[in-house]
């Protein structure tokens, strides 16, 4: 029996390899999106025909990825001020990374783009809030008076912000190809931590590691099962004298053996998606 059995969730999103992400960021005329195939297969074939960047061109060496990381910090603060759940925050951070990967040279204001990502994520996760509330909180965080009352922000200010955020929203939707499928590791992590019997402190540390993973491109590169397992393994390794025990547990729980970890995790995600659609 897999640890993923009975865990609710939406369909997973397509994954990207590290080399494909780097090729998109450093391709010539990276502002162009022409000819991009969103089903993943053809896109990887196109990437393989592109001249590979040198090894020094790591993902986070690119200015767009540094901007994305800063936007993730802003999204986290904005979402917490609006009491959004963890899954909405993670989705918004995932969207901002995808937006900058596919359109690295965008001229859209970074605050508008981050706000739009949260607005789209709220719709995707069905945690919708009024756009005026989101704009008001965004204005307070980005202004010189972050401790003020968002309700005191004049309507004229939010009305002025609205067109820019709506343009950014359309940009985000185009960047993801109107593909609203998501897969979150949070439920998997909670169940995995319970089965592992880790301490409350270790489980909390792993939860923070899981959240921090969304400041990077890891959730775009790996299935949610791998992100959840990796977060728990790292937390255990930081707080356990025999860290190999948790690795054996995770592999056994997920039914993962040898080098087939990625393929097996994808297979489990696909099985869970099919069972969800059948019900």
Q: Are 74 and 111 in contact (CB under 8 A)?
A: yes
| Residues 99 and 106: beta-carbon distance below 8 Å | yes
Instruction: Supply 168's token pair.
Output: 């950014």
**Cα–chain-centroid distance for residue 61?**
19
CA of residue 186 relative to chain centroid, distance: 12
Contact 94, 69 (CB under 8 A): no
C-alpha R_g of the chain: 20
Phi/psi for 161 (5° steps) reads -75, -30
pLDDT of residue 151: 79
Q: Which residue has the higher pLDDT, 148 or 192?
A: 192
Give the C-alpha distances (Å, rounded to integers) separating 265 from 20, 63, 198, 213, 224: 20, 32, 22, 18, 8
Chain mean position to CA 26: 21
Q: What is the DSSP letter of 52?
A: P
Residues 177-192 have pLDDT tens digits of 887 877 888 888 998 8
**Confidence band, pLDDT 50/70/90 cuts, at residue 37:** very low
pLDDT at 91 over 90: yes
**pLDDT of 7 over the 50 cut:** no
- What's the pLDDT tens digit per position in 235-269? 887 765 544 455 555 555 555 555 444 455 555 55
Residue listed under structure tokens 């409350």:
200
206-231 confidence digits (pLDDT tens) = 999 999 999 988 888 888 888 998 89
Which stretches within 8-106 are classed as H helix?
Answer: 18-25, 41-48, 63-81, 86-102
Judged against a pLDDT cut of 90, whether residue 76 lies above it is answered with yes
Percent of the chain with pLDDT over 90: 24
Q: What is the DSSP letter of 40?
A: S
């Amino acid at each position: 029996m897999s640890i993923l059995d009975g865990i609710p969730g939406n369909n997973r999103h397509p994954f990207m390899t590290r080399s494909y992400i780097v090729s998109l960021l450093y391709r010539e005329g990276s502002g162009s999106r022409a000819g991009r195939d969103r089903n993943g297969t053809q896109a990887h074939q196109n990437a393989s025909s592109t001249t590979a960047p040198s090894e020094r061109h790591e993902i986070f060496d690119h200015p767009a990825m540094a901007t994305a990381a800063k936007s993730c910090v802003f999204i986290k603060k904005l979402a917490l001020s609006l009491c959004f759940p963890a899954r909405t925050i993670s989705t918004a951070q995932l969207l901002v990374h995808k937006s900058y990967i596919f359109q690295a040279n965008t001229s859209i204001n970074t605050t508008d783009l981050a706000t739009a990502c949260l607005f789209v994520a709220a719709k995707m996760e069905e945690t919708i809030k009024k756009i005026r509330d989101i704009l008001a909180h965004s204005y307070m965080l980005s202004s010189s008076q972050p401790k003020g009352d968002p309700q005191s922000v004049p309507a004229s200010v939010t009305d002025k912000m609205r067109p820019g955020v709506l343009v950014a929203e359309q940009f985000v939707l185009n960047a993801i190809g109107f593909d609203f499928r998501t897969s979150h590791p949070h439920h998997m992590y909670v169940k995995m931590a319970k089965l592992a019997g880790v301490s409350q402190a270790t489980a909390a540390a792993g939860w923070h590691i899981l959240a921090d993973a969304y400041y990077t491109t890891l959730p775009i590169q790996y299935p949610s099962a791998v992100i959840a397992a990796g977060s728990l393994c790292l937390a255990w390794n930081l707080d356990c004298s025999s860290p190999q025990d948790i690795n054996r547990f995770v592999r056994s729980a997920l039914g993962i053996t040898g080098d087939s970890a990625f393929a097996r995790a994808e297979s489990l995600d696909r099985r869970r998606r099919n069972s969800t659609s059948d019900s």
